[in-house]
Amino acid sequence: MKEAVSLLLAKVHYPVHSLGYGKRVGIWLQGCSVRCEGCLNRETWEFDEAARIPVQSLVERVEGWLAEADGVTVSGGEPFDQPEALGALLVLLRERTAGDLLVYSGRSAEYLRENHAGLLGLIDVLITDPYRPGSGQTLTLRGSDNQRVWLLSEEAKRRYPATVNGDAWEESERRMDLLVEGETVWMAGIPRPGDLEKLEKLLAERGMGVSFSLRGGGGARVEAGKERPLSP
């Protein structure tokens, strides 16, 4: 890998349980040119140079988690908007984990095959297509039902059910991660319609002022920042 390769990073977190198999490292890249209508993650749209970090530094930051993580989920923003950096990141992750590498994209699989075929060989699970909530929001791992899951490796086929592309969520399977960092609480996962409003109401009832700042990637991996910590 070239030392100089860098990327725009929105966030990293471990553990994340809601965006793939098992206990995962979550990496959200900053910047998205897809611009889906209804995107819940508009804060990741800007290609903010202040968020630039060497890929090597990012890998060093997550390296300690990789030994026990079941895999890594890369989301955004739009990861394929930074193809060289995404490739460098995936190569370094692959060298350091036996877990599966899952990548979300708002682009179609057809577009990715035509323009980024080399990167697809580095990915175990690819989830494609723009966020279109009008298509329904019932299917596992996806923000909207038009999105497709591609099991690209043998490891992916071993871990994820072959029916994953048509699987509806069991309500018991649908989960969100609540990530507390100092004065901020983030949510990562795929909410049902109305979930964020319910959480906002719940926190308000506990006397906590909430200011949702929705971020993530692919339409429904959401993070919500609030003004005060969850513990009153």
Q: How far is the CB of 208 from ligand SF4 (least distance, A)?
A: 27
Query: Which lies closer to ligand SF4 via its Cβ, residue 77 or residue 189?
Result: 77
Measured between alpha carbons, how far is 127 from 143 in angstroms, rounded to an integer?
Answer: 10
Tell me how far, at minimum, the Cβ of 222 lies from ligand SF4, in Å: 10
Q: Minimal distance in Å, beta carbon 77 to ligand SF4?
A: 6
Q: Do the beta carbons of residue 100 and residue 153 sit within 8 Å?
A: yes
- In angstroms, give the least distance from the CB of 29 to ligand SF4: 10
Nearest CA among 22, 24, 1 for reference residue 179: 24
Dihedral of CA atoms 49, 50, 55, 56 in degrees, nearest 10, equals 140
Integer Cα distance of 30 and 171 in angstroms: 30
Q: How many CB atoms lie within 10 A of CB 65?
A: 18
Q: State the minimum distance, in angstroms, from the CB of residue 56 to ligand SF4.
A: 25
Residue number, 26 or 130, with CB nearest to ligand SF4: 130
Of residues 131 and 160, the one with the C-beta less far from ligand SF4 = 131
- By beta-carbon proximity to ligand SF4, the closer residue of 33 and 138 is 33
Helices (H), the chain: 55-66, 83-96, 109-115, 117-120, 154-159, 195-205
Q: Kindly state the smallest distance separating residue 4's Cβ from ligand SF4, in Å.
A: 26
Closer to ligand SF4 by CB, 39 or 210: give it. Answer: 39
Give the residue nearest to ligand SF4 (CB): 106
Closest to ligand SF4 by CB, 41 or 137 = 41
Contact assessment for residue 70 and residue 21, using Cβ atoms and an 8 Å cutoff: yes
In the complex, which residues of this chain contact ligand SF4 (CB under 6 A)? 32, 34-36, 39, 41, 44, 76-78, 106, 130-131, 217-219
User: Which residue from 25, 32, 24 is spatially nearest to 11, judged by alpha carbons?
Assistant: 25
Collect all residues with Cβ–Cβ distance below 8 Å to 27 and sequence separation of at least 6. 9, 11, 12, 58, 62, 72, 73, 74, 75, 89
